[in-house]
Structure 1
């Protein structure tokens, strides 16, 4: 293959490479230095991304995290075959070159425009930034330590400088002894390869460590609650909080389409394209479910529109109280994919004309791995090595 491909005109080679699935791209690169160089060339990457977006007119590719592994999945709403979901396989293995071993203990993933921040189980080597397209990785060492209740986010400032935000506020410590509770807020700069403390105050609200934030236009949004110790299933006030990577500060509380929830309700955030945020609310008592998408969103203001897509689908989705839920929404195609986890991973596909499909993706073998489903488009960002 390497000899034949090397004799072809470059434009034809590029055309072939744009058709290679991401899960096979690494193997193709290893066959020939010329193919490796072309696939990592800036002009080709832009062409590849354009082609990837064209494909999303009919289908879209998603990253899905299950059992500490990262998979690529495609969804085709126009397929005549049910279900119109295909698990293409695992993305190529991650390797810790410093310790010469494979990384197979990823418990959580944060997506930012095609770059993945992978949180590993091992607190000594917890953070890994990965570009699946290039296969580039970078391990991030802690300033002092990592904590098992850390909240992380990957984003960038107005100059497109990438940073990582780390936040831990152990407000719900079982000891209830103030002196033993931890509150740390730090930002890591890729430019300086260093952490710095950004705040020395304790927030007046709480972000649960198992609720992943969502990156939008470089900033990160979380759903947060008032700081109250829950004793029972009573309602708590909920709202949206944004961390601005330019100012390196949290913005004001922003309204959600609902103002309260309780421990039996499920609230999940997702991106909806490049400039919209979506929120899913599933009532734990009535099984009512709704999805809202922002009509406007900035770190200091937000407005919402409700979609009719999920109104009658809540009863069809598992109503077992769980925070292990993630979802993806394509507003233009009016399709949502909800990933849920109990004893097994289940993908619920909700579409037009009350279309509903339940797809069993396999056994849930590791309860410490938080499920994730998000869109994927190859990223042009190359991770600078130190």
Structure 2
């Protein structure tokens, strides 16, 4: 008699609770549990339920950092550091991007690598244009796309941008000449762009009024759009950082050293589903700890990256005062600082981001990693 099949929803719920090593073993021995990763509804469910990790990329090494929480106090933690270095053809990477389990390496005047280290797949795309930022997204008709952004000044000295799009399905590059929806004097925070439901979201600041806007790049139309969201004015020693919350919502970290050292986290009240929806922000948590690190932008190294979970824990990856890369974990008034020791860090050539590992195949022709 054939074995009784578990309901697919139950299978998905089980997989979301397993550690990565166990998931990797199940992929090798169970065809059904392997193919479930290609189900978009399951992958969305998994990405919304799984705690992110941090990825740190230096000049010679890439490391994935998993955080293990103590089950009793929920904050005294340890980290698991895994070397997942990709043999890419250039030592200098300019940015990291992430979308639905895929990582995008942008390499200076060399091209891009779309990569999923957990299924040992990567695809190198040659391109000799140097971009200031690269990201990855998708639309439901043409599939996954790479977004390249280059900043320049127009004749009036205002910030402006050139955009190129690569379609993974057709293997074709095209340049976008219409930047309608992005005002010339709006300065994009290039080191804090996140992907939700295939589109890229970022904060843009009006260089004259200092007014802040939440904007997106919509891959279904290949154009910039302004989202109706009330953001605080960000100037002086004010920090505003975006992150993904529960897979389909945004969070905004606000921190001002001019007022106090308090950190406030807002989350969008509704899911980010489509352009035109008015986003409302609600207060999610507040951190007020005297020895909490400064989250202000620094000229030498990237802005901090962070995420929050449903238990109102804050996880931050950034450099400390001694220029050591660390992870900070906050729950209530308890702070834990964990140095990242295994990564050989050069502050001039280090980038980091939060991401969620997955076992989804990359969205184009792939090859095995060497």
**Which TM-score band applies after superposition, normalised by the shorter structure?**
0.7 to 0.9
1:250 aligned residue (224, 244, 248): 224
1:376 and 2:357 matched: yes
Change (3 A) 1:242 1:179: closer
Aligned counterparts of 2:149 and 2:357: Cα–Cα separation in 1 = 26
In the superposition, the TM-score normalised over structure 2's length comes to 0.76
| Structure 1 range deviating more: 178-187 or 235-244 | 178-187
Aligned counterparts of 2:223 and 2:86: Cα–Cα separation in 1 = 32
1:70 and 2:62 matched: yes
Gap runs ≥5 in structure 1: 1-14, 29-34, 229-234
Q: Specify the alignment match of 1:138 in structure 2.
A: 123
1:211-242 deviation digits (Å, cap 9, x = unpaired): 231110111100111144xxxxxx72111101
Q: Specify the alignment match of 1:281 in structure 2.
A: 254
Change (3 A) 1:379 1:47: closer
Residue-pair matches, total: 335
Aligned residues: CA RMSD: 3.8
Q: Specify the alignment match of 2:288 in structure 1.
A: 312
Q: Is the 8 A contact 1:327 1:337 kept in 2?
A: yes
Q: Specify the alignment match of 2:86 in structure 1.
A: 94
Shift, 1:282, TM fit: 1.1
Gap runs ≥5 in structure 2: 1-14
Aligned counterparts of 1:360 and 1:304: Cα–Cα separation in 2 = 33
Q: How does 1:153-302 map to 2 (within 5 A)?
A: 153-159=135-141, 161-171=143-153, 183-201=161-179, 203-204=182-183, 205-208=185-188, 210-228=190-208, 236-256=210-230, 258-285=231-258, 286-296=260-270, 297=272, 298-300=274-276, 301-302=278-279
1:84 and 2:77 matched: yes
Q: Specify the alignment match of 1:231 in structure 2.
A: none
Shift, 1:166, TM fit: 1.4
Q: Is the 8 A contact 2:121 2:361 kept in 1?
A: no
Q: Specify the alignment match of 1:147 in structure 2.
A: 130
Aligned counterparts of 1:141 and 1:269: Cα–Cα separation in 2 = 30
In the superposition, the TM-score normalised over structure 1's length comes to 0.74
Q: Is the 8 A contact 2:94 2:133 kept in 1?
A: no
Aligned counterparts of 2:78 and 2:282: Cα–Cα separation in 1 = 27
Structure with more contact order per residue of length (Cα contacts < 8 Å, sep ≥ 6):
2
Change (3 A) 1:47 1:226: closer
